[in-house]
Amino acid sequence: MKKLLVYLKDYKKESVLAPLFKLLEAFFELLVPLVMAGIIDRGIGGNDRAYIVRMGLCLIALAVVGLTASITAQFFAAKAAVGFSTKLRQALFDHIQDLDFTNIDQVGTSTMITRMTSDINQVQNGVNMTLRLFLRSPIIVFGAMIMAFTIDVKSALVFVAAIPLLGIVVMGITFFTIPLYKKVQAGLDRVLSTTRENLTGVRVIRAFHREAQEAAQFHEENTALLALQQFVGKISACMNPVTYVIVNAAVIVLIYVGAVQVDTGILTRGEVVAILNYMSQILVELVKLANLIITITKALACAERVAQVFEIQPEQTEAQTADDKKTEAAKQVSDGADAPYLVFDHVSLTYAGAGAETLKDIHFTVNRGETVGIIGGTGSGKTSLINLIPGFYPVTGGTIRLEGKEIGELQKDPLQPGQKGLRDRIGMVPQKAVLFKGTIRSNLLWGNPDATDRELWEALELAQAKEVVEGKDGKLDAEISQGGKNLSGGQRQRLTIARALVRKPEILILDDSASALDYATDAKLRMALQGLAGQMTTFIVSQRASSIRHADRIIVLDDGEMAGIGTHEELLAGCEVYQEIYYSQYPEERRRA
């Protein structure tokens, strides 16, 4: 929690004023029993109506001032708590954006969502309640005990016995429930993960008629969460009745002692009422404190979960943390005028938690403006390979150099005025076509926020998506639903390609991004991209041999290793893996061969 309190620094004034006004309210509340004692002993006992009226007006004044102080404290506490959670949520979101794919894969999307929403809401409530009650309740409890001592020492000894006993109950339940609340939040993660998975794959679930099984699985996880919440809820619920029993037992003792003291003339009736009022105040405040402790317990558990996300740092690769010799060598290469454009230097990749390498000893060189095709069987590592170029995953062996400089260094280097960052130079079309809710224009502008309508239409024409947009009401301003659900698969793919082309990137990566296109449209797209040859370096990942056969160079992957590299003709002559892929798609050519 201490690590997160830094986000309260802009609300120091509110964080100080809120408890101060609560203390002011507590001070006036402690005066009420004394005024009541005066009304009973002097006003009612002495039949002094004027005194009763004056003290009645005094009570009203105390109530008004106390209410004003309370409302003011509530305002400052709420402002500080909401502002704190806003800054914390923004900082957490920014931190998650800086994490690489390895970190996100390890933690999980559902957990990230829970910690950014439910957990931060719990922390916000904890901060709010702490500012309002954390000082007020103890002040009322100990202040009431001190005020009772000023009235009668013998009666006040009951407070001395009751308050430590109450403290033991409250703290014992608190320490027992803190780890249980962490388990509750973890259970909520699991339920959210199942929910998200079902909503994402709802079409698959219905296609395979798995509704009943998925409902049963959700019921099982939801019931487990319910049982855990009920268990911790029962323990927390014990706090109020136990404190009531202790306080009411103390009240019984006070009434007995007070009655004896009144009979002997040591105490007046008003003083006994005042002592009982102080005990009632203690009861109310301890109930509030018990609820506060429960809230703080939840908040601390959730704050620890949020802090754990901040502790996650992007993976540092061997290339980024290697010895000075390798870095110096890279700098020397970058100083050479003849340095290759892009070099994979014996690169390997092992995903976190994986038992074996996904990519092994990948080594090739790409010149500026070349078109490189990447082909291989399912699970051969094609997507893993191209995800290394923009640094989505850190390499675990070897280095990748762009214009003689390591990718890791390019990501860390501060940008000079007018200079593009690594990913600003790359246009990426992922395997899964993703569009965002908005308009066609707003989606295309992700590629270049400053692009003109003319540039947008040029990109659409290159991506063979012009007819798609022209057929929509509103053209560029046509609405796109979340995930592009109101478009077909081919339309989504063409628009995502256009989005990448709007950027006019140095490197264009197409990760099996034409799989939903018919052969004619795919051919037109390839011809359009060939017209850009020399302007940008293109990587085309595809299962279709026809999509990459005209590339300047083709990389063939097999189980994470390079099975071959060369032109279509070279691979067809000497690469068995490529021959198997190609002839399986064109069996008639095998017969002719």
Q: What is the pLDDT of residues 139-172, one digit of tens each?
A: 888 888 888 888 878 777 887 888 788 778 877 8
> Do 174 and 44 lie in a common domain?
yes
Res 534: pLDDT: 65
pLDDT in tens, 354-408: 778 889 989 999 988 888 999 988 888 888 899 888 888 888 888 998 888 888 7
- 470-485, pLDDT tens digit by residue? 888 888 888 888 888 8
pLDDT at residue 554, as a whole number: 92
One-letter amino acid at 160 equals V
Give me the pLDDT at residue 374, please: 92
pLDDT at 417 over 70: no
Residue 92 lies in a domain: yes
Same domain, 430 and 302: no
| Claim: this prediction has a pTM higher than 0.85 | no
Q: Are residues 206 and 125 in the same domain?
A: yes
Nearest CA-CA partner of 319 in 355, 352, 345, 339: 345
For residue range 196-212, what is the model confidence (pLDDT) as tens digits? 888 878 888 888 888 89
The per-residue pLDDT for 178 is 73
Q: Quick one: pLDDT at residue 154? A: 79
Burial class of residue 213, CB neighbours in 10 A (0-12, 13-18, 19+): exposed
Please write the tens of the pLDDT for every residue from 515-555.
777 778 878 888 887 777 667 888 999 888 888 888 889 99
Does 323 have pLDDT greater than 60? no
Q: Report pLDDT for 77.
A: 92
Domain shared by 429 and 547, yes or no: yes
Residue 359 lies in a domain: no
Phi-psi region of 483 (alpha: psi -120 to 50; beta: other; left: phi over 0): left
Can you tell me the distance from the alpha carbon of 352 to that of 358, in angstroms, rounded to the nearest whole number? 11
How many other C-beta atoms are found inside a 10 Å radius of the C-beta of residue 57?
A: 10
* 93 & 21 share domain: yes
Domain assignment present for 157? yes
Rounded to a whole number, what is the largest CA-CA distance in the chain?
A: 124
Domain end among 275, 292, 311: 311
Q: What is the CATH number of the domain that holds 432?
A: 3.40.50.300
Query: Cα(64)–Cα(315) distance, rounded to whole angstroms?
Result: 58
The CATH number of the domain where 90 resides is what? 1.20.1560.10
pLDDT of residue 337: 47
How are beta strands 397-402 and 342-349 bridged, if at all? antiparallel
Question: Structural domain tally of the chain?
Answer: 2
- The boundaries of the domain holding residue 580 are 367-394+422-592
My answer on whether 307 and 437 are in the same domain is: no
| Average pLDDT of the residues of the chain | 82
Q: What is the pLDDT of residues 49-87, one digit of tens each?
A: 888 888 889 989 988 998 999 899 999 999 999 999 999
Residue 358 parent element (H or E): none
In a domain, 439, yes or no: yes
Are 389 and 527 in the same domain? yes
Position 12 in a domain? yes
Contact 552, 372 (CB under 8 A): yes
* pLDDT value, residue 420: 67
Same domain, 89 and 161: yes
What is the model's pLDDT at position 335? 46
